[in-house]
Homo-oligomer: A and B are copies of this chain.
Amino acid sequence: METRHRLPAAERRESILAAASVVFGERGYAGATTDQIATAAGISQAYVVRTFGSKEALFVEVARRAVGRIAAAFRSAIEADDGRPVDRRLGEAYLDLIADRGILLSLLHLFSLGSDPAIGPVGREGFLTVYRLVRDEAGLSPEEASHFLAEGMLINTVLALHLHESEDPDALELVTQACGGDLSRFRALAAG
């Protein structure tokens, strides 16, 4: 942290993308401001906009990165055949992604913007990319793939709702079910 002043462009881009992922994940596309992202990245608002051209372009880049991270995680899980069924391995890979809150939450928001002329197509493409991956590369049937995505959407929702921070016993029961009994990834999250 706090290197400040004069990073190479590529590194600066990465640090802005990381900050934007968190802020977009928490507030959504419309709810987030470029100033909040700038503050999180430790730079000025104007520089955020200048670096990516527009807030929209930044969001699209964040979203594309997030899809790429999921795809990479799933491909690793598919290759790393440890004897367990592939959907188990995929599920665990997905739970591992919870550690970087921004990824899953930014995607949740992306998928809610299908009506937007610019962002909608990115969301559809991203969602179908993941569907095809688990169907074609992991070899799940359409039905299995659909169930798998459904469980993923539930995890996203539980995460977005902060249900894992609730003290309600029903919330705990639900979160436990959603993650297949392995609460460790949720527990590891800093409450925020």
Contact = CB atoms under 8 A, between A and B. Distances in A.
A28 interface: yes
Interface string A122-157: 011001100110010000001101110111011011
A188 to B, nearest CB: 18
Interface in A107-129: 108-109, 111-115, 120, 123-124, 127-128
A184 to B, nearest CB: 18
21 contacts: A28-B30, A28-B113, A30-B30, A30-B31, A31-B31, A31-B113, A109-B112, A111-B160, A112-B112, A112-B157, A112-B160, A124-B162, A127-B157, A127-B161, A128-B170, A128-B171, A132-B170, A135-B170, A146-B154, A146-B177, A146-B178
A163 interface: yes
B108 A161 contact: no
A92 interface: no
Contacts of A127: 157, 161, 163
User: A interface, by DSSP: helix, strand, loop or mixed?
Assistant: helix
A29 interface: yes
Contacts of A115: 26-27, 160, 162, 192
A7 B109 CA distance: 37
A163 to B, nearest CB: 6
A105 B112 CA distance: 8
A171 B111 CA distance: 14
Contacts of A170: 128, 131-132, 135
